[in-house]
Structure 1
């Protein structure tokens, strides 16, 4: 949930949360765009210190030093507002896109009974590409995070709808390199301070209209 805004600057819920954490820890923050399927290589190489951008914990529990979950989320399908697709059953014979190496892709790979009904399932590099394809009619649906979908739909001011069917439920966390418990613990403690003083709720309400954080 970070992106480049109309002014060319990085922005978004996760990035604003990260900036507040960095300020409280007296750290300098740098936003580093990466190819999602290269995230582990970037982390191992030290190019980045953590992965904090709608990062699903489920299925990756042993791969990183994790913060505690800060948000719950579902994997869902997004279609055009004028589409006659109203449930996942209507996706039979349809063309679906999903971000490469995403939680949605993993969930669909585990559900061959559903994906076997699709006309096609195509991985793409990013959601911007997927939404452009959806708007143009090149694809019929996108499988993605519900939280990210809601934000994309709001920010694009376009006519899309999210199907009620849930592909999989999950939780978001911040992933650090294995062994880097020092930074993880500092970030976690700061997040808990932000939850206690209302800052986390305020940032969530700015981006989503309500507090959807789950920080204890």
Structure 2
């Protein structure tokens, strides 16, 4: 009887061992399988996220509320601007409720990654950020320029030597000056500010000698403020604006792109542009 028990235990142990060996993969082949499964899971997750975002009933646009004429607080206390007008029209055409969500510009990536916003649409420069977001095609061309007081005596980039220059934190102008380190090193100081309204007040008070910023916004600010400011002829960088989505959110991007192209074809982009700029500055379909 004892021998039978021992034999049975041995058979069961062997079976368990064989079962374990059959279910376990080892070596390079196992590593590749695990890697492939992980990659597949990540792709599926990204696709699910993209699909969920594109099917929501709302379209939440992140923007800097101190960035006229692209997005800002109007005299009536409501959010308004060229980009917000375009975004609202897109939302209407998609049958979604439009939500204008002001954000701190240097926290835009966190807002996008967390899902608090569906996209960044606010004079958002594509150049230098191509790999960080899923983008629409460019809808407007722009330049980074320098704004100075008319009587400052500053006429060229060389005249900025020894001067105090201000930019918005985490802006395209700041990035362009980091890329042009040779020029930036000639300044007395390159300092940042949270928004361009503050930058213009600093310029008006003489706290800074120059503001580096988007030409589209600079021209609008100068016109609205009726200030004795001028834009230097020499530009810092040329760039293009686009709508930025979380990386991998192709589904919602494609729907927005489709509507932008339809708006270009039926003249809506031109109409909205003329409202804000007096001319058509858009580039889709051109």
Given candidates 171, 178, 181, the residue that maps to 2:247 is: 178
What is the SS of the residue equivalent to 2:98? coil
Q: State the SS of the aligned residue for 1:38.
A: helix
Whole-angstrom distance in 1 between the partners of 2:245 and 2:132: 9
Tell me the SS of whatever aligns to 2:97: coil
Q: Which residue of 2 aligns with 1:98?
A: 167
Compute the displacement of 1:98 (Å): 0.4
> Relative CO higher for 1 or 2, CA cutoff 8 Å, sep ≥ 6?
1
* TM superposition shift of 1:194: 0.6
Q: Give the 3-state SS of the residue equivalent to 1:210 in structure 2.
A: coil
Larger radius of gyration: 2
* Structure 2: unaligned runs, 5 residues or longer: 1-69
Q: What is the aligned-residue RMSD (CA, Å)? A: 0.9
Match of 2:268 among 178, 199, 202: 199
Residue by residue over 1:9-65, the C-alpha shift from the partner in whole angstroms, topping out at 9 and shown as x without a partner, is: 111110111111111111111111111111000000011100000000011111111
Of 22-31 and 152-161, deviating more is 152-161
Alignment-derived partner of residue 88 in structure 1: 157
- Taking the aligned partners of 2:86 and 2:240, their CA distance within structure 1 comes to 17
Look up the match of 1:74: 143
1:157 CA drift (Å): 2.5
Match of 1:4 in 2: 73
Q: How many residues align?
A: 216
How far off is 1:116 after superposition?
1.1
Equivalences for residues 1-216 of structure 1 within 5 A: 1-216=70-285
List, as ranges, runs of 4+ consecutive aligned residues in structure 1 with deviation greater than 3 Å: none
